[in-house]
Amino acid sequence: MSSEPITNELLSLTRDAREHLTYLHELGIEGINKEVGPSAGVVARAERASVGNPPFVNLVPERVPEAPSTLFGEIKPALGRLVRSSETFEDIHADIGNCVRCSLYERRTHIVHTEGKRSARLMFIGEAPGADEDAQARPFVGKAGQLLTKIIESIGFKREEVLIGNVNRCRPPGNRPPTPDEAATCKPFLLREIAAVGPEVIVVLGNTATQNLLGVKQGISRLRGQFQDYQGVKVMPTFHPAYLLRDPSKKKETWEDLKKVRDYLESAPKRD
């Protein structure tokens, strides 16, 4: 019996496998399970779309593998639903105490806690206090804070009706962004506050807050304007008010982002 048919079939399977691996790579999938059983066969055959259409492929799967977490790049899937806690802010702040968990305590004047309505539907999160916030022990009270207040009012809320906080509670020297270690030290207390309140929407302000809350690497320019997810809570990334003071041309995009937040909250039933 000639071995030529067997050789041709093996070459065909090899080509199919190579095309499928190329397709997976274009999706951003880097890791492939190498433990393939003898009956697995070819996972899919790629068929080019008709002439004149973009070079997409139609896949006819024989077996659908579980999609890895990198299917859409750095954006991670939702980690389930937010589990509400019975903690109070007083409990959390007492646990923080006179915090010396990272080196930021050495130069701070005050720890700046989250403030606002404890049953708020809407929460704003920045990266860290600035000089005015450090002096007054309140978040967003400087020029950027004054602009944030106007933003809040523009979508039909009062400042006292929302929650406002930061990933870090101590001012970094020179108003630099918190380091990854500094953010990782302080972030758990913010997450406990989120669990205690259960806001319907969180607006994250700027790169640092967005990347820390969502655990992503994309910048704010790529993520802004589209709702993301934090454990079932809608998250809207947008520009930080301090950035808007430096580049007022971005105010229009920020307004578009906040209108989506306003429209969502107006359409959702108000909780008791």
pLDDT value of position 197: 97
The per-residue pLDDT for 55 is 30
Do residues 73 and 218 touch, judged by C-beta distance below 8 A?
Answer: yes
- Specify the pLDDT at position 80: 74
Residue 245 pLDDT: 97
- Residue 161: predicted pLDDT: 98
Q: Which two tokens stand for residue 206?
A: 């700027």
- End-to-end, the C-alpha distance of the chain in Å comes to 79
The model carries a pTM of 0.71
- Cα separation of 16 and 143, whole Å? 60
Q: Which domains does the chain have, with CATH numbers?
A: 1-29+37-73 (no CATH), 89-267 (3.40.470.10)
Low-confidence ranges of the chain (pLDDT < 70): 1-79, 272
The pLDDT of residue 146 is 97
